[in-house]
Amino acid sequence: MYRINENYQKLPGSYLFSTIAKKVAAYTEANPGRSIIRLGIGDVTQPLTGPVIEALHSAVDEMGKAETFRGYAPDLGYAFLREAIAENDFRARGCDISPDEIFVSDGAKCDSGNIQELFAADSKIAVCDPVYPVYVDSNVMAGRTGTYDPATGYWSDVIYMPCTEANGFVADLPDETPDLIYLCFPNNPTGTAITKDRLADWVRYARENGAVIIYDAAYEAYISEENVPHSVYEIEGARECAIEIRSFSKNAGFTGLRLGYTVVPRDLRCGDVSLNAMWARRHGTKYNGAPYIVQKAGAACYTDEGKASIRGLVAHYMKNARTIKEGLKSFGYTVYGGVNSPYIWLKTPDGMSSWEFFDFLLENAGVVGTPGAGFGPNGEGFFRLTAFGTYENSLAALERIKAL
């Protein structure tokens, strides 16, 4: 008789954004015709840019001719894309990363969920609180956590690093020593960035304690301030202790197209075992590569026209971020994020809990956001709005919130 992976049974409820989608669907069904503005999940709304569309069309045409047709992609990604990534995302910023350290995939979410496979089942993970739920849930599924305490919202055997107003939403080094440290900067959900000095503290700590940093830089394109590192590899020593995960979703709008990559430097070794070789083995066995046409679209993001078009998308969303942030502040809300990030992190008004505010906003303003408590206990009393809506919807949402 077969048995299931019991770890799945430990997971409470459904995935955060599925829960929200279900709640909104139920509300819409009960209130047909009510206009809803969705500023919940961080999904983009602007169409793919001209250079990306051109690249897609031409790659589709290539696939239709015998002489240019492509079958399976190389499992680590096409060289044309890995070279463009290494050159533009790393070497141009002084980071020593080569194409053979880049693994192209169908997105950062999958990579951030799968990367834990490289580590021992009894590895201790450290996560920020609040945190992007994928890091914790994927470790729960792998049996790397204890049990969930519904009273506290914490898992046993996980090191939580509180991110609060008091520490500017940047975690302090933990007292207990972890094996794996998940960091996301610019941060989802709080919208906070980290300075080079603070990130250097983490790299030093990881090296001193024999830990690996899994650095999620999916929102890197939104960095606008000096002294905010775009990559963990801007920090000396990071090649020996950090894996970085990147996405084409948030910068180039590929949420529906799917493309991302993970950097596993050759210097990241556990004894004489190369994690780069392990991840290559994993890709070879479990993955057949992102589609050629999508990788061509990804490469188009690194041409001069492609880069300019992405700057345009980011500027559009950052205008929304500024508008939402300044608007909320003028209505008396306490607001964070929105400077190096498309996420606005606000304190719920009148002592409402995060989920109470979610319901209140949906029912009274028809605006959907994400309850901070959904990201962890220290998110309680906070609420996340995304700047990924249209400008018109961002303004309309503000008007509705003002009228509450």
The distance of closest approach from Cβ of residue 66 to ligand MLT in the complex, given in angstroms and rounded to an integer, is 38
The whole-angstrom separation of Cα 99 and Cα 79 is: 7
Shortest CB 307 distance to ligand MLT, Å:
22
- The minimum distance between CB 84 and ligand MLT, in angstroms, equals 23
Supply the minimum distance, in Å, between the C-beta of residue 303 and ligand MLT: 25
**DSSP letter, residue 73:** P
Q: Which of 188, 251, 309, 323 binds ligand MLT (CB under 6 A)?
A: 188
Binding positions for ligand MLT, 25-84, rule CB under 6 A: 41-43
Structure tokens at 314: 């980011």
**Nearer CB in complex with ligand MLT: 132/345:** 132
Residue (279 or 388) nearer to ligand MLT, CB? 388
CA–CA distance, 95 with 139 (Å, rounded to integer): 30
d(CA 100, CA 74): 12
Cβ neighbours of residue 374 closer than 8 Å, sequence gap 6 or more: 16, 19, 20, 133, 354, 355
Minimum CB distance to ligand MLT smaller for 78 or for 132? 132
Binding pattern for the stretch 116-155 against ligand MLT, x by CB under 6 A and - elsewhere? ----------------x-----------------------
For residue 383, the cross-strand partners are 346, 371
Shortest distance, CB of residue 168 to ligand MLT, whole angstroms? 20
Of residues 360-379, which lie at the interface with ligand MLT (CB under 6 A)?
none
CB of residue 128 vs ligand MLT: minimum separation in angstroms? 13
Q: How far is the CB of 30 from ligand MLT (least distance, A)?
A: 24
Q: Return the HEC string of 13-61.
A: CCCHHHHHHHHHHHHHHHCCCCCCEECCCCCCCCCCCHHHHHHHHHHHH
In the set 38, 109, 144, 296, which binds ligand MLT (CB under 6 A)? 109
Assign residue 56 a region (left: φ > 0; alpha: ψ between -120 and 50; beta: otherwise): alpha
Closer residue to ligand MLT in complex, CB, 219/292: 219
The number of beta carbons lying within 10 Å of the beta carbon of residue 175 is 7
CB atoms within 10 A of CB 319: 13
CA dist 354 and 381 (Å) reads: 5
CB 19, min distance to ligand MLT, A: 13
List the x/- string, 270-309, binding to ligand MLT by CB under 6 A: ----------------------------------------
- Specify the residue, 77 or 372, whose C-beta has the smaller distance to ligand MLT: 372
Instruction: CB nearer to ligand MLT: give 78 or 219.
Output: 219
Give the CA distances from residue 269 to residues 33, 55, 244, 277, in Å, rounded to whole numbers and listed in that order: 57, 37, 15, 10
**Tokens representing residue 385 in the block:** 């709005």
* Min CB(188)–ligand MLT separation in Å: 5
Tokens describing residue 396: 């309309």
State yes or no: cis peptide before 189, omega within 30 of 0. Answer: yes
Binders of ligand MLT among residues 230 to 269 (CB under 6 A) are: none
Number of residues that bind ligand MLT (CB under 6 A): 6
The answer to whether 187 contacts ligand MLT (rule: CB under 6 A) is: no
Residues that bind ligand MLT (CB under 6 A): 41-43, 109, 132, 188
